Structure 1
Amino acid sequence: MGEKNKLNQSYPPLVLFTYNRPEHAKRTLDSLANNPEAKNSLLIVYSDGPREGASEQDLQGIAEVRRLMKLQKGYADIKIIEREVNWGLRKNVTSGVRDVLDEYGSIVVLEDDLIFSTGFLAFMHRALKEYADNEKVLHVSAYVPPLDLPVGYQEVSFSQLPHSLGWGTWKRAWQYYEDDVNLLIKGFNSTDKKRFDFDRSMNFYRMLNNAAKGVIDSWAVRWYASVYLRGGLCLISTKSMVRTIGDDGSGTHFNIKLSSKVVDEIEFEKPLEKLDEQVYKAYRKYYWWNKIKHIPSYVLYRMKKIFS
């Protein structure tokens, strides 16, 4: 037998949140295991329990996820938290992140529908170490959509948007997470609403209001609002190191038109500690183009609603 992988105590734990998609979860962890740092990392899996009235297919999916997680190779140690009942994504993520940060101080957060480049953990480790004590920086993300930036643009920058696909943070930052949506909404003035939505190119503020109404149950928009109102900085790689396999309709929450190209290495030059306006404009352009491209499908949807 080969020597057992040794845990590097300086590495932040890798925390995976999963539900009933065993194939997605296995592909996610297999891709992450290709990162050299994985074999010396602690992997913590939060496996949510069945929803009320869950189908037999859901129950089988949850059971298969848990079976596969126990057989997973490529990590120094694996800890599995099996929820007996369904906590839901928001509660599962926010409580899990809080508990892990209380014990370890920093974290790398994963969802069960992501594929990572081989340099993902190297970037995350470097970023979490470099900015561990910087009160301005609240979030690190290795995912970015296909932004239109100049050729040769810096590969590490600061954004206002904390992407939830392959990210990390610290206990000192997560203390600012606010779950009370109504309290968050009170913090916005008209200028904030426009800026929060990238000059109205995206509907993040509407999402916040929908969360208040119970239409959606998103932890991510709450975290974005918490970071924004705090004036926090989000360190990002301007070339994505993460892509999703969850936009096949199999998940509870998924984003549209996500980046499929990933890079294995980032030139890590520390940027100026301020929001990058060039990156802001690139996000705004990206979101506007997405709106325009979806106009035909929206019109078709409305016509079907009218004439059905």
Structure 2
Amino acid sequence: MQEIIESSIDNDLAPVILFIYNRPHHAKKTLAALSQNLLADKSVLYVFADGPKENATDEDLSLIMQAREVVSEKQWCKEVILVAREKNMNLEDNIIDGITSVINKYGKAIMLDDDLISSPYFLQYCNEGLQVYQNNKQIFSINSYMFPIDFETGPETFLCPVATSSTGWATWADRWNLFENSPAYINEIDADSFLQNRFNVGLMNKMYMLKHMHTWDIRWYYTAFIRNGLGVFTTKSLIFNIGFDGSGTHKGGEDLVQELYAEPIPVFYQDSINLKHYSKLLNFVKPDPISLKQKIKNIVKRLINYKSV
């Protein structure tokens, strides 16, 4: 774990952690939006830049250096600390190590990726959420992204069993340090349809991700799931993802309609799940019968092709 320099800023705001690699244009847009946040001029920003892979081309090396140079272009926040990896750690390890290094110094942190445009009130919302729910150990994450769902209410927050998100979020050290790096109950969840239904969230198919992808965010979700954790969500999204252009490590979401809410969303303490909002979220991501039919056709097609080889 690389040693992290502690910021000299003395305030109760959570540090912001940004992860970059080889997308300088995305990183610049993310930093520009972050700099327009209400509390940016009072916040410390840690930027973790992953290093080049062993087989990196000259073009790869150039893009990696350009992304790092973007960080030094302006004073995006009150203080900016760049942690430049000499070698490639891969996406998962860079994120896990980066969060752990910073959050254990400050007790809390706000996380961003290099393809996320934030509302001017993103930092305010995350900091308020961290303060309001800091003593409720059942809350694992303050989440700022939301699908374009009509919740039939004004902008507000709600508690949800989905618990975690990897798209503009915040948490505390005591919850992050519960991180399950090697999930022990994969087989138990996989073997029980009721547990699977509870673990999955519609089209997200989190069980598949847990079994086959082993990404940091599905392990974080699993960490909250086995502890019956909850997450704080907004009815309006304070994050807009510009990474659905095929440039990132993980693909998908190109056809998703997104909205960015540019007004404050206050955080008030709640002690129960909002079942109306939770139901709307589940119905938004429920499996589409047409999509399932197409998936079955694709499986049959692959089997036919396999047998013909």
Question: Shorter chain as normaliser: what TM range?
Answer: 0.7 to 0.9
Aligned equivalent of 1:156: 157
The more displaced of 186-195 and 237-246 is 186-195
Spell out, residue by residue over 1:125-159, the C-alpha distance to the aligned partner (whole angstroms, 9 max, x if none): 1101111121111111110112242x215610012
Amino acid of the residue matched to residue 197 of structure 1? Answer: N
Percentage of matched positions with identical amino acids: 30
In the alignment, is residue 247 of structure 1 matched against residue 244 of structure 2? yes
- 1:1-308 alignment, distance < 5 Å: 7=9, 9-149=11-151, 151-152=152-153, 155-161=156-162, 162-181=164-183, 183-186=184-187, 188=189, 189-198=192-201, 200-210=202-212, 216-256=213-253, 257-268=255-266, 270=268, 272-288=270-286, 292=290
Amino acid of the residue matched to residue 273 of structure 2? Answer: L
With over 3 angstroms needed to count, the CA separation of the structure-2 counterparts of 1:303 and 1:190, relative to structure 1, is: closer
Amino acid of the residue matched to residue 192 of structure 1? Answer: L
Give how far 1:253 is off.
1.7
The more displaced of 272-281 and 81-90 is 272-281
With over 3 angstroms needed to count, the CA separation of the structure-2 counterparts of 1:19 and 1:85, relative to structure 1, is: same
Aligned partners of 2:235, 2:290: CA distance in 1, in Å?
23
Aligned partners of 1:153, 1:192: CA distance in 2, in Å?
33
State the secondary structure of the residue aligned to 1:243: strand
Conserved in 2, the CA contact under 8 Å of 1:184 and 1:225?
A: no
Conserved in 1, the CA contact under 8 Å of 2:125 and 2:265?
A: no
With over 3 angstroms needed to count, the CA separation of the structure-2 counterparts of 1:9 and 1:225, relative to structure 1, is: same
Spell out, residue by residue over 1:229-261, the C-alpha distance to the aligned partner (whole angstroms, 9 max, x if none): 111110111210001000000010244144521
Aligned partners of 1:45, 1:298: CA distance in 2, in Å?
43
Conserved in 2, the CA contact under 8 Å of 1:178 and 1:184?
A: no
Conserved in 1, the CA contact under 8 Å of 2:107 and 2:172?
A: yes
Give how far 1:297 is off.
8.9
- The size of the alignment, in residue pairs, is 295
Aligned partners of 1:294, 1:251: CA distance in 2, in Å?
26
Aligned partners of 2:24, 2:221: CA distance in 1, in Å?
29
Aligned partners of 1:298, 1:55: CA distance in 2, in Å?
39
The more displaced of 55-64 and 162-171 is 55-64
User: Given the two structures, how large is their TM-score scaled by the length of structure 2?
Assistant: 0.87
Stretches of structure 1 that go unaligned for 5 or more consecutive residues are 1-5, 211-215
Give how far 1:9 is off.
2.1
Stretches of structure 2 that go unaligned for 5 or more consecutive residues are 1-7
Conserved in 1, the CA contact under 8 Å of 2:238 and 2:262?
A: yes
Give how far 1:206 is off.
1.2
Give how far 1:50 is off.
1.0
With over 3 angstroms needed to count, the CA separation of the structure-2 counterparts of 1:265 and 1:204, relative to structure 1, is: same
Aligned partners of 1:225, 1:80: CA distance in 2, in Å?
30
Spell out, residue by residue over 1:86-110, the C-alpha distance to the aligned partner (whole angstroms, 9 max, x if none): 1111111111111111101110000
Give how far 1:275 is off.
2.9
State the secondary structure of the residue aligned to 1:178: coil
Spell out, residue by residue over 1:243-296, the C-alpha distance to the aligned partner (whole angstroms, 9 max, x if none): 100000001024414452111224425353233322332222222366746866
Conserved in 2, the CA contact under 8 Å of 1:157 and 1:271?
A: no
User: Given the two structures, how large is their TM-score scaled by the length of structure 1?
Assistant: 0.87
State the secondary structure of the residue aligned to 2:223: helix
